[in-house]
Amino acid sequence: MLASAHEGARDAVQTLTADIFEALVLKGEGPIVVEFMSYGCAHCRVLEPVLQRVAAVLKSKARFFRVNIAIEQELAAAYSIEGTPTLVMFLDGSEVARTEGPSPTDARLRAAVTAPFGI
């Protein structure tokens, strides 16, 4: 299931559930960024507006998704997510990099998610 975190709002980062993760991420083509997060996480709330801006700027170059680890616990365990937020970068279905914790500026976050893809 694909859903928006903010009902009615345009969300540059789409929420994924385990049943669609494989189709959109593991079988996806090109650069894909997945934020493993929790709505109860203070660092995730700080990162959210920055991630939305970066995703909006890079929308033609990479796809951005989020996975709520409070709901998708098996998926979080499969990717050894130990803290939130954790951003995992996939290229053509394979993990190529990850970064943990908040990156509080647009420039830092953009660099963190584009460096593994060379974009």
pLDDT digits (tens, 9 = 90+) for 76-113: 999 999 999 999 999 999 999 999 986 778 999 999 99
Tell me, which fold does domain 11-117 have in CATH? Glutaredoxin (3.40.30)
Name residue 34's beta-bridge partners.
65, 88
pLDDT in tens, 20-36: 999 999 999 999 999 99
- The span from the first CA to the last CA of the chain, in angstroms, equals 29
CB atoms within 10 A of CB 83: 12
- Cβ neighbours, 10 Å, residue 1: 8
Q: Is the pTM value of this prediction over 0.85?
A: yes
Instruction: Convert 18-53 to b/e letters by CB count within 10 Å (16 or more is b).
Output: eeebeebbeebeebbbbbbbbeebebbeebbebbbe
Question: pLDDT tens digit string along 58-79?
Answer: 999 999 999 999 999 999 999 9
